[in-house]
């Protein structure tokens, strides 16, 4: 019952993480039958720059794009169309994705250190923050294909879309799956304390959420082909997701929904998706906030 997108847009810049993105996007397109489009955005310069400089930057950009297309085709993949764009990478990739009707963007993280990423951001994180379609951010040398899918659930529409797409990806690789629900304001109640009214209320809420999680696992099983393992935690969602994949030899794919926090609030508080993309060692799938 997979509903995998029929068009994938791969953004490449020739970096090491972009190579991982190329491998993943090509493999996804081959297994799913989706069209694969490839884009490289060369960094244009102000209008007063010498024409030779612009021509050289464009030539180098075309070389990068041609090289990635060649690698895909040599590995048995097929590129529906290659796109060379001039401008800021995040703007050009998002604009092109909208124009061609892509259902998934695949990008590589540039692998900056955590502090640098927090202070400076990266093109991949800009794409995650502003894209209106799901984004797969690739990181890690042995990151694909995913042996396990870890899905963050919070019962929002964003999380549902992330989970459905992650399960569709998992079905292509017969991946194991874990469905995580984290509620930091809902601690587990010891058996000896359930007589207290407040404690009973907490227990009722937890049982209700566990029932909803079981229902959700059944929905994902229909897409994935196997029932996900279920975990409930009272930790903070980003920390729970990252801890679930910590220390793995082969990083799992983490999937989360973006709650669409405004830029200033995201800067002050951070969102689960932003924290996971920043700190994860392996690939992350983000489904954007719709609305």
Same-domain check for residues 179 and 83: no
Same-domain check for residues 154 and 88: no
- pLDDT computed for residue 112 by the predictor: 37
Domain that residue 13 falls in = 1-139
Report the alpha-carbon distance of residue 199 to residue 192 in Å, rounded.
Answer: 10
Report helix, strand and coil shares of the chain as percent, to nearest 5. 50, 20, 35
Q: What is the mean pLDDT of residues 200-226?
A: 85
Q: Is the pLDDT reported for residue 291 higher than 70? A: no
Same-domain check for residues 160 and 21: no
Please, which contacts does 274-279 make with residues 24 or more away whose CB atoms are closer than 8 Å?
274/125, 274/128, 274/129, 275/238, 275/242, 276/152, 276/238, 276/241, 276/242, 277/109, 277/124, 277/125, 277/128, 277/137, 278/114, 278/117, 278/118, 278/125, 279/114, 279/238, 279/242
Q: Report the chain's terminal Cα–Cα distance, integer Å.
A: 26
- pLDDT computed for residue 193 by the predictor: 52
Same-domain check for residues 214 and 102: no
Q: Which of 85, 112, 139 is the last residue of a domain?
A: 139
Same-domain check for residues 2 and 40: yes
Same-domain check for residues 76 and 148: no
Same-domain check for residues 184 and 250: yes
Same-domain check for residues 161 and 267: yes
The predicted model scores a pTM of: 0.84
The CATH number of the domain where 113 resides is what? Answer: 3.40.50.620
Q: Is the pLDDT reported for residue 247 higher than 90? A: no
Same-domain check for residues 55 and 91: yes
- pLDDT computed for residue 215 by the predictor: 93
Q: Is the pLDDT reported for residue 172 higher than 90? A: yes
What secondary structure does DSSP assign to 234-254, as a single string?
A: SS-HHHHHHHHTTT-SSPPEE
E strand intervals along 43-183:
81-86, 104-108, 135-138, 148-153, 176-182
Q: What is the mean pLDDT of residues 261-290?
A: 67
Same-domain check for residues 248 and 149: yes
- pLDDT computed for residue 120 by the predictor: 32
Give me the number of domains the chain comprises. Answer: 2
pLDDT-derived band at 69, boundaries 50, 70, 90? very high
Q: Which of 92, 117, 139 is the last residue of a domain?
A: 139
In this structure, of 106-120, 165-179, 194-208, the range with the lowest mean pLDDT score is 106-120
Same-domain check for residues 230 and 103: no
How many CB atoms are closer than 10 A to CB 53?
10
Same-domain check for residues 157 and 62: no
Percent share of the chain, pLDDT over 90: 35
Q: Which of 107, 139, 171 is the last residue of a domain?
A: 139
H or E element: which one contains 9?
strand 7-11
- pLDDT computed for residue 123 by the predictor: 66
> In this predicted model, what pLDDT tens digit does every residue of 104-137 receive, in sequence order?
999 987 643 333 333 334 667 778 878 889 999 9
Q: Is the pLDDT reported for residue 263 higher than 50? A: no
Q: What is the mean pLDDT of residues 138-144?
A: 76
- pLDDT computed for residue 224 by the predictor: 93
Q: Is the pLDDT reported for residue 187 higher than 70? A: no
Residue 76's Cβ-count burial label (10 Å; 0-12, 13-18, 19+) is exposed
């Amino acid at each position: 019952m997979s509903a995998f997108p029929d068009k994938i847009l791969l953004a490449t810049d020739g970096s090491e993480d972009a190579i991982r993105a190329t491998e993943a996007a090509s493999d996804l397109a081959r297994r799913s039958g989706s069209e694969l489009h490839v884009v490289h955005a060369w960094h244009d310069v102000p209008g007063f720059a010498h024409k030779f400089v612009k021509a050289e930057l464009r030539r180098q950009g075309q070389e990068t794009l041609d090289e990635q297309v060649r690698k895909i085709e040599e590995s048995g993949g097929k590129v529906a169309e290659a796109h060379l764009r001039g401008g800021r990478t995040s703007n050009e990739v998002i604009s092109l994705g909208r124009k061609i009707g892509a259902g998934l963007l695949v990008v590589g993280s540039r692998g900056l250190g955590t502090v640098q990423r927090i202070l400076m951001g990266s093109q991949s994180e800009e794409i995650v923050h502003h894209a209106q379609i799901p984004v797969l951010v690739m990181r890690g040398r042995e990151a694909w294909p995913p042996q396990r899918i870890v899905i963050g659930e919070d019962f929002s529409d964003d999380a549902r879309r992330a989970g459905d797409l992650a399960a569709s990806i998992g079905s292509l690789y017969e991946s194991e799956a874990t469905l995580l629900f984290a509620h930091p304001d809902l601690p587990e109640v010891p058996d000896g304390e359930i007589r207290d009214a407040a404690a009973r209320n907490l227990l009722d809420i937890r049982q209700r959420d566990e029932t909803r999680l079981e229902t959700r696992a059944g929905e994902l099983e229909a897409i994935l082909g196997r029932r996900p393992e279920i975990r409930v935690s009272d930790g903070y969602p980003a920390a729970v997701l990252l801890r679930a994949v910590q220390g793995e030899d082969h990083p799992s794919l983490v999937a989360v929904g973006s709650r669409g926090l405004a830029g200033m609030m995201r800067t002050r508080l951070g969102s689960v998706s932003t924290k996971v993309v920043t700190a994860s060692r392996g690939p992350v799938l983000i489904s954007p906030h719709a609305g």
